[in-house]
Every structure is written in C-alpha cells, then in structure tokens.
C-alpha cells in the first residue's frame, strides 16, 4: 500500500523504497490482468473450436454443408417441376417446342435434353391397337412407321420358392437305385438362397439396416422371417466366407505400403455401451501406378475389431509387417517404428491432411492470419502434388524433387521462423509443433515415390461405418464386432474394385461351398467373373 502525500517520508532512501514497492505492485497487478486476459482468450478459442466440432461442418470438406446444399437443390428442382406442370396445364395454347428441348409455357424454363434409357435393360413392347380401316374413307390402311415412347418402370421385389427335385431311378436288371447327389447349399441346413443371404448381409453391413428393421420390411411383403433366423443366417455366412476374408488379409498385409486408421464403435455390455474400435488397413497402389496394372496388387481393405484403443492391437495386426505405414500421430503406432522391432521397423509416413486440419480450424474459427497463411502454403503443396497421382514411382519421385520439394522447404523455414515468436501455449504453436516435431515423417514422401501425401484412403474406408453408426446404434457384443469387421472387409474390398458388393456376395455364396480350395483366389473381387458370364462365354 502506498503512503498518502500527507505522510510521505522526508528521507530519500525511504522515498525510493516506497516508489519501488508501488512499481512492483503495479507490475504484479498488470501481470495478473494480462494472464487473466490470455486465459479468457484461450478459453474463448477453445469454446469456439468445440462449438465448431459439435455444430459446425465436419472437416474442411464440409460434408454436412454439402448434404444441406444437395437437399436444398433437390427441393428447388421439385418446386420448379411442380410450377412448370401447373403452368403447362393452365396454358391455353402451347408453342411448338424445338426438336432438342421444350419450353414450359409461361415460365421460360427450358427442359434439358433427355438421355436415352440404359440399353442393357430388357424392353417390353406395348402396342396400342390401331384402327383396321381409315376413319375418313374406310379404306385399307398400310403401315407407314411407328413412334416409340420409352418409360422407365420398376417391378416390385418378387419372392419365390425354388424346389430342387432329385428323382430316383431303379434298374430293372439289378434293382439298384440311382439318384443325383444333393446340391451344395450356401449354408448348412439353411432354407435361404444365395440371393436372399447376400441381400441380408449387404443390408446390414452395407446399407446399415439392423436385422429388426429388415425383418419388419419382409413382414410387410408377406414374408415372416424372425430376427433370430436372420441372425443365424448372418453367422453362418460369416463362417462360409471366412476363407475369403483370410485371403484378403494376407493380400493386404503383403503390400509394401499401407494406410491405417481406426474409428469408434459403440458395443453393448451388460446393459450399457462401451466404446470399441474398428481398425482398417488399406492397400491401394493406384496413386503411384502400382502393380495393380498387371493384376498382382489390386486395392483391398481389411478391418479388425478391438474392445479398446491400446497400442497392443496394431502391434498384433501388423506382427509380421515391415513396410510403410501411413497413419496419424496415434501413440499406439510408435512401437511399430522402433529400430529394434522384429522382423524390422515399420517406416512412418505422416498425413498432411491431419496437419492441415489443425491450421484450418484456427483459420476458420479465429481468422488468425498466420493460420490462413499456413493453409495457403500447404494448399500449394497439394496443388503441386495432385498432377503426379497415377504416375510410375520413379517419375513421380523425380517430379516431386523438382516441383514439390522447394515448396515444402519454404513451408518449413516459414514455420520455424514464426514458431520462434509464439508462446508454447499458443494454439497456433501447437499446430506447428504437430508437424515440426514429426517433420521427417511428413517429408518422407519426397524420398519414396510410393508414399502418398495423405492418409485419406483409410479415412474413406471408415466413412461408411461412421455414417452407419447412427442407424445400428451399437454392436451387440465383441463377437459381433469381429463379425462386422470380417464382412466389412469383403464389402469394402468389393467397392474399391468397382464391383457390386451384393451381386458379388450372392455369386460367391452360391459357389464357395463346392469351389476348390486351391482356386479360391478366383472368387476375389478383382478376379471374379459371374457364373452367368462364364456360361455365356462357354
């Protein structure tokens, strides 16, 4: 407390001491105020970031905003069509439309040129009866031609029971009974055909329709299939398809480079849910014109389930793997990169999308100039890398050294310079540290043409699961999570190879029971040929 002017000491040393005490108290108060202001600013930024994560667009791709815009476009198109039909019905005179387009009277809205309907669909001719004689003079009519109008129609799903008959014959001479052998069924003791089983599997794991909803839908069509029956079929199909799942896992883990990621899966446990994990490892050599060109390294995805996110799980998944792993900075992967690891250390390759995302959040929420500049510089790296996708490894690496490496060097120099001016508690400093502390992993793509700039392949493989969680709410058990991982492996790999998952599953379930084990690879999505095509070729 400073003395009042009336009682100021006459001694010079005492005056100096009082002045120093007052200055020290003022500096301390300013420091406390500055610290409080910094804490307030930090908390406001954290709240804004959390609100953005909770209510804002999910990631810089703005997936949710895109869905909203597509819905808005759908509504506008429907409204415009409704108004056009009303105007057309109310118009007294209709102008003759041009040959390639029509104008809705009173609206000025031109309808786009209609594309022809798919040529592979069967055609059903419905001929409108013509008069037998001329309506004018009753003379004989001769066909001049015809006008055909095509309309796309759908036939509702049809159910049928297939009766497989094995006739018995007896020999008149030796009285021996002869009968054809019983055919193989997709599942033992099951009365479901391959098409129905594939529809149930793809509905549950591809379209995220729980079995109870499927059962209700079947009941509305007059087919009573209990949930327990459908569950039995799913379990039996998982066993029948397990050899293919194991074959896909070996194929994925034989790759020289993998994408790895995981996502949460709610699991029901004793009346409550716990948070399990689904892990994915994706083999995709297409970005560097990889071996898939000669059929030896097609894309595939494998999934694993675990009850938690401990590092022991990726260590178990990749026990015998010693290639390149592109993943985020999850600490559970660190043991895989140890030099002493057997059979050898895995090479770490970081994801630039994860690094960019931290700057993008600050640029979007706080409008920080340094964050905006960081996003601009990282986007320049992405722009330079984009034309190199699909090129052979050597060419891709040479062009990276020429075009991309200078941009990466400038980005590093800029970040290290700006980082030295920031407090370690600054959110922007944390975003920079995320990349700078892992800079060798972030720049490893400049040393190996096989490495991609991002880990987006793994994130795309998990996107359907993340969206489907809202429909199926939780997995029923740990065994259910493992079963889901196996079926996701089949469906995800089929999609990566542009194969219809349901059609493929149907054909595989029909054939796998009596298919030779030595030729099981023929049923993999990239080798698969439907039996109908094989029969036609024969």
Q: What is the pLDDT of residues 40-79, one digit of tens each?
A: 666 666 777 666 666 555 544 445 555 556 566 666 667 7
Share of the chain above pLDDT 90, in %: 48
Question: Tens digit of pLDDT for each residue in 260-291?
Answer: 999 988 887 776 778 889 999 999 998 887 65
Residue 360 has pLDDT above 70, yes or no: yes
Q: Is the pLDDT of residue 531 over 80?
A: no
DSSP for 335-399, written as a single string: GGG-TT-SS-PPEEE--HHHHHHHHHHHHHHT--HHHHHHHHHHHHHHHHHGGGTTS-HHHHHHH
What's the pLDDT tens digit per position in 93-106? 454 444 444 444 44
pLDDT top residue among 536 and 325: 325
| 35, pLDDT greater than 70 | no
> At residue 116, does pLDDT exceed 90?
no
Q: Is the per-residue pLDDT at 107 higher than 80? A: no
Q: Is the pLDDT of residue 2 over 60?
A: no
**What are the phi and psi torsion angles at 267 (to 5°)?**
-125, 130
What does the pLDDT average to over 231-237? 90
Tokens of 538: 């024969």
How confident is the model over 390-395, as a mean pLDDT?
91
Contacts of 476 (CB under 8 A, 6+ apart): 267, 268
Residue 319 has pLDDT above 90, yes or no: yes
CA angle centred on 447, ends 443 and 452, rounded to 5°: 65
Asked if residue 113 has pLDDT above 80, the reply is no
pLDDT at 229 over 60: yes
- Residue 403 DSSP symbol: I
Q: What angle do CA 452, 454, 456 make, to 5 degrees?
A: 115
Looking at residue 17, what is its pLDDT?
77
| Percent of the chain whose pLDDT exceeds 70 | 80
Distance CA 290, CA 59 (A): 30
Lowest mean pLDDT among 57-66, 84-93, 393-402, 404-413: 57-66
Residue 453, number of CB atoms within 10 A of its CB? 25
Higher pLDDT, 81 or 207: 207
Predicted confidence at residue 505, as pLDDT, reads 96
Query: Quick check: 346 pLDDT over 80?
Result: yes
Read off the pLDDT of residues 471-492 as tens digits, 9 standing for 90 and up. 766 667 888 889 999 999 999 9
> Residue 500: its pLDDT value, please?
95
Q: Which has the higher per-residue pLDDT, 497 or 294?
A: 497
527-530, Cβ contacts within 8 angstroms, sequence gap of 24 or more: 528/499, 528/504, 530/503
Quote the mean pLDDT of the chain: 83
Residue 316 has pLDDT above 90, yes or no: yes
Give the separation between CA 448 and CA 452, rounded to whole angstroms. Answer: 9
Range name among 290-294, 320-324, 325-329 with the lowest pLDDT average: 290-294
Checking if the pLDDT of 144 tops 70, the result is: yes
pLDDT at 248: 96
Residue 525's pLDDT band, with cuts at 50, 70 and 90, is very high
Compute how many other C-beta atoms are within 10 angstroms of the C-beta atom of residue 248.
22
């Amino acid at each position: 407390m400073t003395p009042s002017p009336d009682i100021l000491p006459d001694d010079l040393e005492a005056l100096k001491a009082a002045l120093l005490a007052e200055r020290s108290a003022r500096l301390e108060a300013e420091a406390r105020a500055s610290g409080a202001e910094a804490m307030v600013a930090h908390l406001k930024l954290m709240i804004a970031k959390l609100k953005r994560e909770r209510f804002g667009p999910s990631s810089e791709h703005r997936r949710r905003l895109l869905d909203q815009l597509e819905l808005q476009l759908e509504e506008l198109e429907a409204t415009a069509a409704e108004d056009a039909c009303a105007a057309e019905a109310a118009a007294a005179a209709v102008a003759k439309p041009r040959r390639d387009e029509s104008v809705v009277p009173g609206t000025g809205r031109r309808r786009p040129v209609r594309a022809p309907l798919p040529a592979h669909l069967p055609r059903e001719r419905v001929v409108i009866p013509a008069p037998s004689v001329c309506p004018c003079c009753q003379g004989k009519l001769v066909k001049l031609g015809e006008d055909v109008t095509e309309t796309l129609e759908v036939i509702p799903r049809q159910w049928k029971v297939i009766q497989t008959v094995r006739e018995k014959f007896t020999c008149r001479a030796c009285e021996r009974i002869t009968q054809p052998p019983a055919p193989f069924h997709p599942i033992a003791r099951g009365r479901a055909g391959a098409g129905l089983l594939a529809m149930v599997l793809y509905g549950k794991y591809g379209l995220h329709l729980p079995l109870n909803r499927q059962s209700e839908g079947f009941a509305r069509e007059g087919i009573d299939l209990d949930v327990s029956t459908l569950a039995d079929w799913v379990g039996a199909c998982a066993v029948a398809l397990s050899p293919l799942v194991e074959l896909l896992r070996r194929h994925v883990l034989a790759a020289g480079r993998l994408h790895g990621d995981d996502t949460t899966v709610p699991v029901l446990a004793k009346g409550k849910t716990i948070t399990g994990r689904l892990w994915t490892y994706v083999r995709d050599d297409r970005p560097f014109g990889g071996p898939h060109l000669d059929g030896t390294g097609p894309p595939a995805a494998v999934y694993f389930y675990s009850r938690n996110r401990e590092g022991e799980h990726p260590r178990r998944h990749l026990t015998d793997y010693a290639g390149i792993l592109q993943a985020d900075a999850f600490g559970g992967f660190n043991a895989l990169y140890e030099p002493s690891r057997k059979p050898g250390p895995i090479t770490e390759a970081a994801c630039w999308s994860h690094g960019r995302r931290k700057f993008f959040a600050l640029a979007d929420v706080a409008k920080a100039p340094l964050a905006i500049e960081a996003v601009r510089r990282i986007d320049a790296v992405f722009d330079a890398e984009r034309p190199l996708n699909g090129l052979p490894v050597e060419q891709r690496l040479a062009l990276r050294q020429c075009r991309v490496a200078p941009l990466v060097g400038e980005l590093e120099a800029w970040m290290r310079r700006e980082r030295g001016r920031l407090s370690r508690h600054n959110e922007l400093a944390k975003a920079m540290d995320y990349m700078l502390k892992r800079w060798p992993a972030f720049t490893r793509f400049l040393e190996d043409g096989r490495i991609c700039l991002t880990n987006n392949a793994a994130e795309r493989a998990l996107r359907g699961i993340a969206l489907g969680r809202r429909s199926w709410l939780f997995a029923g058990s740990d065994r259910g999570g493992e079963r889901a991982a196996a079926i996701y492996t089949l469906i995800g790999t089929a999609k990566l190879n542009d194969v219809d998952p349901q059609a493929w599953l149907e054909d595989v379930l029909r054939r796998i029971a009596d298919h030779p084990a030595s030729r099981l690879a023929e049923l993999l999505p990239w080798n698969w040929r439907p039996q109908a095509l094989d029969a036609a070729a024969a």
